[in-house]
A and B are shown apart, each in its own frame.
Chain A
Amino acid sequence: MPDTLPLIWGIVLAVAVIVYTILDGFDLGVGMLFGLEKSEANRDLMMNSVAPFWDGNETWLVLGGGGLFVAFPLAYSIIMPALYIPVIFMLLALIFRGVAFEFRHVAKPNHHWWDKAFLFGSLGAALSQGIILGALLQGITVVDNRFAGGAFDWLTPFSLFCGAGVVVGYATLGACWLNLKTIGELQQKMQRIATWLLAGLLLFIALVSLWTPLMSPRIAEKWFSLPNFYFLWPVPTITGLLAFSVYLALRKNKSLWPFLGTAGLFIISFVGLAFSTLPLIVPPDISVYQAAAAHESQLFSILGVLILLPIILIYTIFVYYIFRGKVTPESGYH
């Protein structure tokens, strides 16, 4: 019997990445929308709507990177040098935006630099994450289990396009989050922005879905061969219906559904990409089975995941529950 642990670990990592993109996605999105709002009071509200959560959200990124190291050290040792520049750029951007949360409050009234750090840090992090995604989908040159390409292999029209797509996607999530957490004029503004962003996001999803099979015969084979095609055709249909329901919910002033629906769009897009790629983890050569850590290492760490991840999810939900409802000007602690 082939070892199923690598596949289980692959699914765990996929879950960690999708949870990360939704959770940190909305708070990076709020960071980017910061640039569209000039009022100081509203900016405070926007920041306070994510401030209690961002630390926990970003931890999923550590689980993504750490999990890759834990479960697939070979993949980690190839992907990180290959994507050296976008990864470092993402980290630097995250530093600026992470410290901006506290620094901005403490620096008042001279905080305009930290406003910029928050805005451009969020934008830079989202952009580089999209580029990383694109670069991974298009594949990495590997010789003898080591990265053997150049420092700028990642830089292609496709990866940049994915970068832009993730920026739009995160901004959509951020706008829907603010629609959920704010009231009045700010909420209405976010509903308008969210509608436009939603249309943009849908366009990006469609174009990436067309581009990937054109770029890679392997992916085309997966989607358009029989019998796969029979049970895959609902995927675009569900995507379209979901997007339409978000649009309606935004028009009807609903608080929660636009956010959940957009998160659903993220999940279905991600499942599609994972289907295109798995069982490969470093396309086009390395599969989860080849990259897997030793069986006893994966076993030891998966036990921790299976016990602790549900607990983490429970207390994460608990903290979101504590800070439920609309954010008010008194929400800060400063």
Chain B
Amino acid sequence: MDFDPVMLARLQFAFTISFHIIFPAFTIGLSAYIAVLLAMWIKTNRERYQKLAKFWTKIFAVSFGMGVVSGIVLSYQFGTNWSEFSRILGNVLGPLIGYEVLTAFFLEATFLGVLLFGWGKVPRWLQLTAAIAVAFGTLMSAFWILSANSWMHTPAGFEMRDGIAYPVDWIKIIFNPSFPYRFAHMLLAAYLTTAVVVLAVAARYRVAGRFPRQSPTMLKMALGMVMLLAPLQLFIGDLHGLNTAKHQPAKIAAMEAHWHSDKPAPLLLFAWPDQQQQTNHAEIGIPNLASLIITHERDGLFPGLNDFPVEDQPPVLPVFFSFRIMVGIGLLLIGIGLLGGVLWWRGRLFDAQWFMRPLRFAWPLGFIALLAGWMTTEIGRQPWLAHQVLRTADAASPVSANSVLVSLLLFVLVYGVVFSAGIYYINRLIHKGPEPEVLEAPASPTAGRPLSGAESGSFDTLNREQSDA
């Protein structure tokens, strides 16, 4: 059987990068959370924060390891599978990748050692510094990678000479038009994803009646983040969409499955886009709403797919659906935030079993939305690798389809094993939970009663915590 080597290379990259992005997204948020917990531990001297920090650090270590090894793969795949991309765009994108390694990768990887193995060996402030260094490193990593990625969507600050891109203005390259929006959108997504995981773990402990003093702390911190970030993400996402409408109109048309530029667009709740016939089947939509969202006018017009030759159109079906999955989950998270906020306000949050039970299974929501969002933007970029600069089909390596196919199968196999094991072990760590505090409260928080003042200044604090719960 004959395979198209470019398609195989695309599949391979899509697979390895989708696998990879899960871990950075989680560790960006988690490292910040651990840093906050450590800061609160130092500030309040409450053991609870230390145990929680230690607990999440173990989970962090497993995820970070998977992030590192899958990230190394990517830094070599630009060359193994996309050597023409490297040759043509290397002058512009190479330095951004280089700065990522120098400002971020080293920082996080080196201080991770202190964060994991420093307990009891280094003073508290150094432990906190290491956590902040790791959190800052992951943030810088996202900065440079998102900058390079955004450049592929909205190239700027360069010129082409003899078919090779040359840099002209580094500021314009780094802060290219879509970068600020994409960076903000991705960071919020990462923090939100982590908050949802922490929320689900806390709910799991609440339902099982375990860790009665740590779980409310987690619950409150995570829910607060969701309440704040989910609506903010909607706002930032809208801004990002407007930016895309300006620079990549074909992508927006595909996201909305909008074929005809001469008509206002409905907001399609469902449709089956048919690229061959250049139309939709089974449309259900709210008239004019997409026009209103994108142009901020009821009868506003924006480019439809018919404005673009078929060979310049992105694949509509996957873009259309992945966009809806992302937005759907975003709205669900806003709902969870609202509902949780009301319960919290009324003082019923910790014992609302009907709310906690389904929440236990919410942990993948952020990851799914994140992947769906990336698929929307990356498939929406097709057929271009760098928008109107380099076509994906012209960027691949001169390697045989067989090499790509075999390596693709190996990656699927290896990542399958590693990923399953990782999920299994993380679940095991979560099941085990944080170390019990020296002063373990009784299983039922309402029946709780402080036993001793082992925790410094704890008598007062404990009473207050018990009534919180």
Contact = CB atoms under 8 A, between A and B. Distances in A.
In this complex, the interface size class of chain B, counting residues with CB under 8 Å from chain A, is 35 or more
B52 to A, nearest CB: 15
A40 interface: no
Interface in A292-334: 293-294, 296-297, 300-301, 304-305, 308-309, 312, 315-316, 319, 322-323, 331-334
B75 A308 contact: no
Given A107-B425, A300-B95, A76 B399 contact: no
A88 B80 CA distance: 8
B418 interface: yes
Contacts of A145: 87
Given A59-B101, A95-B73, A106-B62, A52 B114 contact: yes
Nearest to B98: A70
B111 A101 contact: no
Contact of A58 (B68, B94, B403): B68
Contacts of A274: none
Nearest to A63: B101
A297 B403 contact: no
A61 B425 CA distance: 27
B275 interface: no
B73 A91 contact: yes
Nearest to A121: B69
Interface string A57-99: 0110111011111110110111111001101100110111011
A80 B410 CA distance: 18
B117 interface: yes
Contacts of A85: 403, 407
A98 B23 CA distance: 14
B12 to A, nearest CB: 10
A334 B58 contact: yes
Nearest to B113: A52
Q: Is the contact region of chain A dominated by helix, strand, or loop, or is it mixed?
A: helix
Given A76-B79, A91-B76, A333-B117, A319 B110 contact: yes
Given A52-B116, A99-B65, A87 B91 contact: no
A51 interface: yes
Contacts of B58: 106, 333-334
A80 B83 contact: yes
Nearest to A297: B91
Nearest to A332: B117
Given A99-B418, A323-B117, A294 B91 contact: yes
Across the A-B interface, give the 5 residue pairs with the lowest CB-CB distance, nearest first.
A73-B90, A80-B79, A52-B113, A70-B98, A77-B83
Interface of A: 51-53, 55-56, 58-59, 61-63, 65-71, 73-74, 76-81, 84-85, 87-88, 91-92, 94-96, 98-99, 101-103, 106-107, 145-148, 151, 293-294, 296-297, 300-301, 304-305, 308-309, 312, 315-316, 319, 322-323, 331-334
Interface of B: 54, 57-58, 61-62, 64-66, 68-73, 75-76, 78-80, 83-84, 86-87, 90-92, 94-95, 97-103, 105-114, 116-119, 121-122, 164, 166-167, 170, 397-400, 402-403, 407, 410-411, 414-415, 418, 421-422, 425, 428-429
Given A80-B76, A84-B80, 9 more contacts: A56-B113, A59-B110, A66-B75, A81-B399, A95-B73, A99-B66, A102-B61, A293-B91, A297-B91
9 contacts: A63-B101, A66-B100, A69-B79, A80-B83, A87-B76, A94-B72, A95-B418, A312-B110, A316-B106
